[in-house]
Amino acid sequence: MNVNVEKLEHNMARFTVEIEEKDFDKYVEQAYKRNKNRINIPGFRRGKVARQVIEKMYGKDFFYGDAANIAIPELWEKVYDESEEDIVSSPAIDVSQLEAGKSFIFTAEAAINPKATLGQYKGLEIEKVDDTVSDEEVEKAINDEREEQARFVAVERPVQNGDQVILDYEGFCDGEAFAGGKGENHPLTIGSGSFIPGFEDQIIGHSVEEDFDVNVTFPEEYHSEALKGKAAVFKCRVHEIKEKQIPELDEDFADDAGFDSVEDYKKDVREKLEKRKAAEARDKKEQAVIEKLVEGAEMDIPDAMIRTEAKRNVDEYAQQLRMQGLSLEQYFMFSGLDEEKMIEQSKEGAEKSIRARVALQAVAEAEGLEVTEEEKEAELDELAKRYRTDKEKIKGMFIGKDEKLFVRDVLIKKAVNFLVENAVEK
């Protein structure tokens, strides 16, 4: 294989790839094997016609189109792996020569990772982030935990705000029952805002097995066109009233949480808050230095690079949907989008992340930062912990896929750490 590289404007490059006819023949043979069962020639059993017979009848280049489709992805992957250029986009392919008796030639135009011209990057001024934990925050975290541990206990009294009721209801509009307006044994927490405005307030004060009406008006922005702005009456009956009981902060509560005393429990809550706020503060500092860095940097980002990044974002979202049991096609049906619209919507975020990455790579180069084997192993350990899987699977997911990208990401993390350590907090 012979590859010629021509640099173009805006960090693009044209790769001209050529292989001799004898080397192209293996792809022709693959194309023949893929298609022979679909070719029907009188006098031959389907799938048993020799390639030479087919080529004699239809021409030596009969399988060339399919052969090119097989060859191009394989050859391009080899170009990507072996090229000294840092290719950062999917290629735009054009077949230049596909004729019997001649070599196979195609061109691939792709983006090359741009270089950023940095402004100031050492001593970047960022706003000081307060990561101290107050007594009030500890108290709120404890009360939130107590709320989560609350129980609903049946009571014999009228409904109060905050109670949970088991409710039957049926809605009528202009004297007629409407679709979706009926429920039986429905659990409803009063004050949750689960129902339309005014509904829950009118349940307060009513008792078990009492029949009563709730009068409401549907909002103008209600999702059902037939009910928008309409007055309605709901016939209701409460079957059960449960009171929310929040546990006391005492030794029993601490014991249930796994601590010897209330003080030990409070100490643990504070330590967790401090750890979380420290991580949040670190994230804010990182974001701040990256924004400052990009503001002072100049770079020419190719459109092809932005599109490839946006497409990758869409593919990752599709994978998340599949994990939830949905396909991208199903998402398109209820969102009104298609793949092209999603890519367009993703371009702004894609360009932002690219600019940050390119600027950080320039910092790494300027400071001579490199990734050691120990740092690669540490990153794999962290990923294995995050994804709760073993290290070998993580290696297959990240290094096996594209080690260059994995190393680049580790290097970028080092550049971010460098910027934060050298930043000035005001």
In this predicted model, what pLDDT tens digit does every residue of 211-243 receive, in sequence order?
999 999 999 888 888 899 999 999 999 999 999
- Given a contact cutoff of 8 angstroms between Cβ atoms, the answer to whether 191 and 161 are in contact is yes
Average pLDDT of the segment spanning 26-44: 90
Say if residue 363's pLDDT is above 70.
yes
Say if residue 41's pLDDT is above 80.
yes
Residues of the chain with pLDDT > 70, as a percent, come to: 99
Say if residue 400's pLDDT is above 70.
no
| Start-to-end CA span in the chain (Å) | 57
pLDDT of residue 283: 96
Please spell the DSSP secondary structure of 133-164, one letter per residue: --HHHHHHHHHHHHHHT-EEEE-SS---TT-E
Say if residue 160's pLDDT is above 80.
yes
* Per-residue tokens: 365: 């180069």
Cα–Cα distance measured from residue 402 to residue 331, given in angstroms and rounded to the nearest whole number: 29
Instruction: Identify the CATH homologous superfamily for domain 2-111.
Output: Trigger factor ribosome-binding domain (3.30.70.1050)
| CATH 1.10.3120.10 domain locations along the chain | 262-425
* Per-residue tokens: 163: 């109670």
Strands 2-7, 12-19: parallel, antiparallel or unpaired by DSSP? antiparallel
- Three-state secondary structure call for residue 61: coil
Contacts with 56 (C-beta within 8 Å, 6 or more apart), sequence order: none
* Mean per-residue pLDDT over the chain, rounded: 93
Cα–Cα distance measured from residue 392 to residue 377, given in angstroms and rounded to the nearest whole number: 11
- Three-state secondary structure call for residue 326: coil
> Under CATH, which architecture does the 262-425 domain have?
Orthogonal Bundle (1.10)
Name the least confident of 37-46, 191-200, 338-347: 37-46
pLDDT of residue 310: 97
pLDDT of residue 401: 61
Structure confidence at residue 393 as a pLDDT band (50, 70, 90) = confident
Task: Give CATH for domain 151-245.
Answer: 3.10.50.40
Say if residue 387's pLDDT is above 90.
no
Average pLDDT of the segment spanning 150-160: 94
Say if residue 389's pLDDT is above 90.
no
Q: Which of 74, 129, 110 is CA-nearest to residue 278?
A: 129
Structure confidence at residue 396 as a pLDDT band (50, 70, 90) = confident
pLDDT tens digit sequence for 68-127? 999 999 999 999 989 999 999 999 999 999 999 999 999 999 999 999 999 999 999 999
H or E element that contains 288: helix 262-295
pLDDT of residue 404: 81
| CATH 3.10.50.40 domain locations along the chain | 151-245
Share in percent of the chain as helix, strand, coil (round to 5): 50, 20, 30
Cα–Cα distance measured from residue 304 to residue 79, given in angstroms and rounded to the nearest whole number: 18
Burial class (CB in 10 A: 0-12, 13-18, 19+), 237: middle
pLDDT of residue 180: 86
Output 74-80 pairs: Cβ under 8 A, ≥24 positions apart.
75/1, 75/17, 75/19, 75/106, 76/17, 76/108, 78/1, 79/3, 79/15, 79/17, 79/108
* Per-residue tokens: 368: 């001579």
* Per-residue tokens: 204: 């307060």
Output 129-134 pairs: Cβ under 8 A, ≥24 positions apart.
129/281, 129/284, 129/285, 129/425, 130/281, 131/274, 131/277, 131/278, 131/280, 131/281, 132/277, 133/270, 133/273, 133/274, 133/277
Average pLDDT of the segment spanning 357-383: 94
pLDDT of residue 240: 97
Average pLDDT of the segment spanning 364-393: 91
pLDDT of residue 71: 98
Instruction: Give 312 or 396, the one with higher predicted confidence.
Output: 312
Beta bridge partners of 168: 237
Average pLDDT of the segment spanning 337-364: 96
